[in-house]
Amino acid sequence: MAAPVNIIVGSHVWVEDPTLAWIDGEVFKISGEEVHVQTTNGKTAVANISKVFPKDTEAPPGGVDDMTKLSYLHEPGVLHNLAMRYELNEIYTYTGNILIAINPFQRLPHLYDTHMMEQYKGAAFGELNPHVFAVADVAYRAMMNEGKSNSILVSGESGAGKTETTKMLMRYLAYLGGRSGVEGRTVEQQVLESNPVLEAFGNAKTVRNNNSSRFGKFVELQFDKSGRISGAAVRTYLLERSRVCQISNPERNYHCFYLLCAAPPEVKEKFKLGDPKSFHYLNQSDCYALDGVDDAQEYIATIRAMDVVGISEEEQEAIFGVVAAILHLGNVDFAKGSEVDSSVIKDEKSRFNLNMTAELLKCDVKSLEDALVKRVMVTPEEIIKRPLDPVAAVGSRDALAKTIYSRLFDWLVDKINSSIGQDPNSKQLIGVLDIYGFESFKFNSFEQFCINFTNEKLQQHFNQHVFKMEQEEYTKEEINWSYIEFVDNQDVLDLIEKKPGGIIALLDEACMFPKSTHETFAQKLFQTFKNNKRFIKPKLSRTSFTISHYAGEVTYLADLFLDKNKDYVVAEHQDLLTASTCSFVASLFPPPAEESSKSSKFSSIGSRFKLQLQSLMDTLNSTEPHYIRCVKPNNVLKPAIFENANIIQQLRCGGVLEAIRISCAGYPTRRTFSEFLNRFGVLAPEILEGNNDDKVACQMILDKMGLKGYQIGKTKVFLRAGQMAELDARRAEVLGHAARTIQRQIRTYIARKEFIALRKAAIMLQSHWRGILACKLYEQLRREAAALKIQKNFRRHTARESYLTVRSSTITLQTGLRAMAARNEFRFRKQTKAAIIIQATLRCHASYSYYKSLQKAAITTQCGWRRRVARRELRKLKMAARETGALKEAKDKLEKRVEELTWRLQLEKRLRTDLEEEKAQEIAKLQESLQAMQSQVEEANARVKKEQEAARKAIEEAPPIIKETPVIVQDTEKVNSLTAEVESLKASLQSERKATEEARNACTDAEARNAELVKKLEDSERRVDHLQESVQRLEEKLSNSQSEIQVLRQQSLAISPTGKSLTARQRTMIFPRTPENGNVTNGETKVLSDMTLSISNIREPESEEKPQKCLNEKQQENQDILIKCILQNLGFSGSKPIAACVIYKCLLHWRSFEVEKTTVFDRIIQTIASSIEVQDNNDVLAYWLSNSSTLLMLLQRTLKASGAASWTPQRRRTSSASLFGRMSQGLRSSPQSAGLSFLNGRGLSRLDDLRQVEAKYPALLFKQQLTAFLEKIYGMIRDNLKKEISPLIGLCIQAPRTSRASMVKGRLHANAVVQKALIAHWQSIVKSVNRYLNIMKANHVPPFLAHKVFTQIFSFINVQLFNSLLLRRECCSFSNGEYVKAGLAELEQWCNEATEEYAGLAWDELKHIRQAIGFLVIHQKPKKTLNEITKELCPVLSIQQLYRISTMYWDDKYGTHSVSSDVIANMRVMMTEDTNNAVSSSFLLEDDSSIPFTVDDISKSLQQIDIADIDPPALIRENSGFGFLLPRSE
């Protein structure tokens, strides 16, 4: 037969290999039906063409996450895909909706943490990488959406990880539907906490697994209508009872026996236990301990687990007593008795163990012995006791041990179920089935028969489900599937369970006949099923039989089938244990019903198991199933070892290959239209060039290729088995032809290029040679012409040289003669001129010397005399001028003093006028005294003016200051006249000095009188000021106690030295004096004391007239107005929030910070809380964020902890409650400038003027509450922005998928529209962020807080994008990297436009996704070393993250590869080292939702605020009680 079209020379194929199961290679020869393949390991293999499978050379290097996406769905393709993914630590792979889980044999905590659960919660199936959480999520969502129960079937052989997978399923379901249960423990916690108990009593070490479950477990999680777990139940199947008595090397018995032998000494002494080697049931194997497991610690853990599930200490003691009794029972040996076929206890050691067994079971020793060595036969006539031989006695002993242990295990399961509790009202559940996988050993017995029967039953259910899924896929795509045959294994099930002729029925029949043996049973099977194709009789055995299961043929030994199938309890054993004085043991063996004791009722393990299995199948059929197939990669239980043959066997046993066979019966290859066109568009390029629809284009390509039997669905192309290979062969032909065409064109191009180069070289050589000949000819001609020219020039040169020599000689002679005559004439003229000059110079020098000597003598004489006279006069004039300057200084000082007094007087008059207008009606009683004071002030002013005028006149009448004039001495007569004038000036100076002295005395007297008047005026003004301040304080007094009025009256009447000094101190602080302004006289203290007395006398009746109720009402009214005001949006004054400034100034003015009890703080907090109830109103949130941060900053810089803790209660109450006490306390605790500003009612001018207030508890609590509200508002704004951009981030992580067909003519415009639409998602994020920025700017939110918001938002974007990149392989592509990079550029542009003040370092928060995207888009990745990647390209990313990106990367644009295999290997080594060093191996990032700032950070970041000139709102301006808020000019 000719080779199929899909296998040709050069094809890459898979062939069978005895070591590796399958190996790939290249076909180099085809001989009929034999194919010769050159394998990758260098060997040559020859195989039949029917057993050769094509290999997909274009498969991704990291494999595919769903094996239905494989181009060739066959056994070697599946195995290779699993091997590639396991090498990358991708332990989960889908086959449709079936999850294959390969045991990694190492901890991978990052795959199962809470963050990973959050990623899979609600995610569509297949959207993220395969995971056990995805299967659990699909089951939970299907249950909630459809209201139907679901089940998850976990299967696999021992060591495949079924139990761990079940735990992960339970954890995730608990995460989705957890709810607090009784005593603070959830239902799922109770189920999980029951695992250690069940593992201790139901798990054991086998050849393949150290913790193998030797029973099947079905956990039902019950849910209420809201999806919360409301109850649970645990069902168990087929405990391996025979293990209690029989174990093989190197296995162990159940864990509980070894745990009890490792218990504390007092426990071991109580149960008379010792080393496990001393017990027959344990020493049949040489294995007593497990590597890395401490049985003593496990015993403590088991005790703790029993406590958790509700097993009391008495019950625990009874349980371990039963376990110890089984161990002692196993050590009871028998010997032949005196009678025929009888037996007795062998020795004293056996007797001791028998006694210990009876003691622990609390039964009669004699009865126990009789039950072991005798058997009661019931006949119609009588009851006969028949002795048992030693072999039968051992069988009776082992039967009793197995029965007790089986009943004990059933009791534990019932106890756990009752502890967990079931919900009778639950209508929906999720069941998790942890069931043993298919087993095929060298020797297989009844347990393997039941296990494989279970797997056959589950395989039928599995096949039906797979076929159903296939049908749903075909129906969804609207294709015809009616002719597809269903692969069924019903014939095997009929062979095993059919009545009356099944194996189980025949086994039960044989068990009911006492004379039946395993040989008769085997012969019965051979006779019954001799024609059954599934039943095979071995040739060399009389008691063995073989069944052809779905996973292969299994040979069973029928030797122990009859014994192991019997389930009834021996009547003597039942009676013995029912009569036990131990209530726990008696409860394990309740008395049987009367009819059950009849011989007609027979029970067997096989029948009971079949009923349980049918019940399980009914439950599964009523649920929507989901499948997880666990696979053990190797038998040495070590990581990174992938044994192909072992895994292929497990895939067969797990039914995965059977599912693939079902898929192959239909349409195993499915490709979307775009994928199909991308791969096979080269077969018909003319079709792609048109504007055909994708579906039509696929149809045209398939028709052109002449394929039959395929189907075109709505979104996919469905190909029959082999058609993909045929298309690939056609494609390979087209690509090969194209390659040959390219090679031909390249060879033509190279040959022509070589010819042109050769021709060009020849032409150039010829041209060079011709050039050389021409050069030589030219050189010869040039030499001849040069010789003629040289001869001509030489002759001319010789003649000219002769002529020039004669001419030069003649000219030289003539020149010498003429020069000699000229030199003689010049010498004579020079001598004559020199003689004349010498004579003239000598005559001039004699005359000039005589003149200069006369002039020098005259000048020296004149200067000496003049200097003498001038120095004498200068000394006199300086003395006179010095006396006149002192007088002028005195005059100037007096003028300055007068001006200062005048200004001071005007200032005091203005202050007095302002105060009179403000409180005119309240100081009417003082008008007379004030008028008197004013008249005195006017008289003082008049006297001051008169004195000033007198002083001014005296100064004006004084003569002007004598000025120095330069003295020019003309001659001796002038000196005499000047002397006379100086004498007259001296006389005038003396008279002027007398007049000045008189004026100075008058000025001093006037100044003294003026100072006295100013002092009186100052005292009067101070008194008026203090009266007005006192009246205002009385109006705003917060005390509401009558006792305070009495204390106030006593303080006003009783004038103490402390009061006087305090008043004096207040006066000093109000008007501090400087040396320039003058000093207070000594009489001030007395005047102030009088003032204090008069003030006290005046205030006492006012206090009595104003009741305390009026003050409280006014205070309440002011608070109501303030609250009503801040409920409105008061806006901003400049950049300062008005509401915060108004609140702060009011609280400070009312001294609310210093009181022990007030409600104003609570009302403000409630107002803020009511304003931010609408969490979606970002404008309101930003407004209050600005106000609360400003108010908190003011409080932070104002409040300080109270330092008055050491005062006595009475003193503290009096000082804080009374008016003068509060005034004195405020003055003591504040600087002078603060005291001045508040007593004058002028408010605050700058933030520097904020005084430190000793805050009481309400103020400090208010500050804490305000801080909490600030953090809450900040978090609400941040979370609102996160909520808004979260859907957009999900759309931004993956680039659009465009097929090759979309890139050809006619589709570029559509692709551009798609690109523009998808980049709009990034722009939407930028718009959202920018809108929030504008909102915060409009509300003047401090840039520090805005910076923190956007920093956390960008960190959130970084986490979401990066985690999605690592969880979805389709995102780790080259084109997707370019797409995300373009989106990140949009965010970078926003950061630049927002400026660093608001954006800050937000761009740096995207470092993980930026470096990851940078790695995706770089070229030549295989050339990059690990050091370059970790140090230069991606220094921030961990080795786990780099490893995952490197292994998941695929280039969908250029087809390049990821980093080299050496780099991958180095990464794996580093990851292993990190795991050994206990470094976290999680590759996902976590979002930080904490508050990233403190109150001190806000206080330091905000600038100082000037709150003095804040214009209060109209509602406050209209109220007289808020006059202190008005600006100073008003």
Distance CA 402, CA 238 (A): 13
Catalytic position from the list 90, 439, 947, 1018: 439
Distance CA 861, CA 863 (A): 6
Q: Which of 1504, 866, 958, 871 is nearest to 1248 (CA)?
A: 1504
Q: Is 278 annotated as a binding residue?
A: no
Residue written as tokens 């304003």?
Answer: 1171
Q: Is 816 a catalytic residue?
A: no
Q: Is 159 annotated as a binding residue?
A: yes
* 593 burial level (CB within 10 Å; 0-12, 13-18, 19+): exposed
Q: Is 163 a catalytic residue?
A: yes
1064: Cβ contacts below 8 Å, ≥ 6 apart: 1084, 1085, 1088
Catalytic position from the list 6, 151, 155, 213: 213
User: Within 13 Å of residue 333, how many CA atoms lie on the same side as its CB?
Assistant: 10
1516: Cβ contacts below 8 Å, ≥ 6 apart: 1121, 1122, 1125, 1142, 1522, 1525
Q: How many residues does the chain have?
A: 1530
Q: Is 160 annotated as a binding residue?
A: yes
Catalytic position from the list 11, 150, 155, 163: 163
Are 1114 and 1521 in contact by the 8 Å Cβ rule? The answer is yes
Q: Is 158 a catalytic residue?
A: yes
CA torsion sign, 1158 to 1160 to 1165 to 1170?
A: positive
What is the β-pairing status of strands 343-345 and 334-336? antiparallel
First to last CA, the chain: 114
Q: b vs e for 363-394, b when ≥16 Cβ sit within 10 Å of the residue's Cβ? A: beeeebbbbbbbbeeeeeeeeeeebbbbebbb
Q: Is 767 a catalytic residue?
A: no
Virtual CA dihedral for 1195, 1200, 1205, 1210, nearest 10 degrees?
A: -50
Q: Which of 1122, 1129, 1134 is nearest to 1182 (CA)?
A: 1129
Q: Is 437 a catalytic residue?
A: yes
> What is the Rg, in whole angstroms, of the alpha carbon atoms belonging to the chain?
57
Q: Is 1078 annotated as a binding residue?
A: no
Are 1154 and 1222 in contact by the 8 Å Cβ rule? The answer is yes
Residue written as tokens 């020069």?
Answer: 819
Coarse DSSP helix, strand, coil percentages of the chain, rounded to the nearest 5 percent: 65, 10, 25
Distance CA 299, CA 318 (A): 15
Distance CA 1080, CA 662 (A): 114
Q: Which of 1121, 1171, 1128, 1122 is nearest to 1143 (CA)?
A: 1122
Q: Is 654 annotated as a binding residue?
A: no
Q: How many CB atoms lie within 10 A of CB 429?
A: 23
Catalytic position from the list 151, 155, 158, 1446: 158
Catalytic position from the list 77, 321, 431, 437: 437
Q: b vs e for 762-773, b when ≥16 Cβ sit within 10 Å of the residue's Cβ? A: eeeeeeeeeeee
Q: Is 161 annotated as a binding residue?
A: yes
Distance CA 638, CA 618 (A): 38
Tokens (6 digits) for 46: 């020859």
* 571 burial level (CB within 10 Å; 0-12, 13-18, 19+): middle
What is the β-pairing status of strands 229-237 and 12-17? unpaired
Residue written as tokens 């001028």?
Answer: 881
Tokens (6 digits) for 138: 């699909």
Bridge-partner residues for 1201, per DSSP?
A: 1255
Q: Is 957 annotated as a binding residue?
A: no
What is the β-pairing status of strands 552-557 and 544-549? antiparallel
Are 1243 and 1074 in contact by the 8 Å Cβ rule? The answer is no
Are 1385 and 1313 in contact by the 8 Å Cβ rule? The answer is no
Q: Is 162 annotated as a binding residue?
A: yes
Catalytic position from the list 150, 195, 212, 426: 212
Are 209 and 216 in contact by the 8 Å Cβ rule? The answer is no
Catalytic position from the list 194, 209, 230, 1187: 209
Catalytic position from the list 159, 177, 330, 606: 159
- Per the annotation, binding residues are 156-163
Catalytic positions: 158-159, 163, 209, 212-213, 437, 439
Annotated binding site for ATP: 156-163
